[in-house]
Amino acid sequence: MNLPTLLAPTYTQMLQALSAWLAKAQAQLPGDEGEALLSARLAPDMFPLATQVRFACVQAQEGMYRLLGREFPESITTLLDEGRNAGEAPGSIADAQARIAETVALVEQLAAESFDTDGTRPIAHELPMGLVFDLTAETYARDWALPQFYFHLMTAYAILRSRGVELGKADYVAHMFGYARPGTLPGGGQ
């Protein structure tokens, strides 16, 4: 089983969706209002949109590197620091788009370089506060890598929706339209 190439399409299609959501927000909200979204939060004790974007990128990068058994590059530390400091320095939508594009390119590159991975290979996943999870590569991918990625992705979606950005299910599953049987799209579209 090649876990990195299994996860890579999920990471790339959903990061591309996130990029499209940010583009919609920028198009729908005038000037500074769109940029102000990066500081928006769902709750006072939650990270802002700028952090959610960066942490979604971190999760995709960490997932790929950890499953390949490789050391993390400095770019992950940079993203983590940007995310942790995004409350004071959210950056711009262009910055967020650049981080997404960099992550998509990296994920695609790592997937192309990957090889069959042993799903039973042990992975010790240590959190910053010292808690360590002993997992297999398969349980890491299923129970940590994907859920953590989707948590930040969906929090970003929820922040955008809560601030009036017109997004719907079609924006979330835009990648699925490539699989639509011709003639079955509502409105007769191909």
Domain assignment present for 67: yes
Residue 187 lies in a domain: no
Domain presence at residue 15: yes
Q: How many structural domains does the chain have?
A: 1
In degrees, rounded to 5, the angle at the alpha carbon of residue 34 between the alpha carbons of residues 32 and 39 is 90
- 4 CB burial (10 A radius; 0-12, 13-18, 19+): buried
Task: Tell me whether residue 179 is in a domain.
Answer: no
| Sign of the torsion formed by the C-alpha atoms of 105, 106, 109 and 110 | negative
Residue 142 lies in a domain: yes
Establish if 73 belongs to a structural domain.
yes
- Domain of 101, CATH number, reads 1.20.120.450
pLDDT at 32: 84
Classify residue 122: in a domain, yes or no.
yes
pLDDT digits (tens, 9 = 90+) for 28-77: 998 788 889 999 999 999 999 999 999 999 999 999 999 998 999 999 99
User: For the chain, which ranges sit under pLDDT 50?
Assistant: none
Q: Give the pLDDT score at 73.
A: 94
CA angle 186, 187, 189 (to 5 degrees): 85
Q: Tell me what pLDDT residue 129 has.
A: 86
The predicted structure's pLDDT at residue 125: 87
Domain limits at 44? 3-170
pTM over 0.95: no
**Would 186 be classed as within a structural domain?**
no
